[in-house]
Amino acid sequence: MSRVSVIIPGRCEQYFQATIDSVLANARGDVEVIPIVDGNLVLFEDGRKTIMAKCLISDKKIQRVSFLPFLINNLGQPEPLSAEDKRSGEVYEYVMWCCQDQKLDTNFVREGDEVVVCT
Amino acid 89: pLDDT: 94
Q: Which residues contact 68 (CB under 8 A, 6 or more apart)?
A: 51, 52, 54, 80, 81, 113, 114, 115
Q: Could you tell me the CA-to-CA distances from 32 to 3, 27, 65, 76 in Å, in that order?
A: 7, 9, 29, 19
Nearest to 71 by CA among 31, 41, 36, 44: 44
51 in Cβ contact with 95 (< 8 Å): yes
At residue 21 the predicted structure's pLDDT band, cuts being 50, 70 and 90, is confident
Rg (CA), the chain: 18
Q: What are the extents of the domains in the chain? A: 4-41, 45-118
The amino acid present at 80, given as its one-letter code, is P
Predicted TM-score (pTM) of the model is 0.62
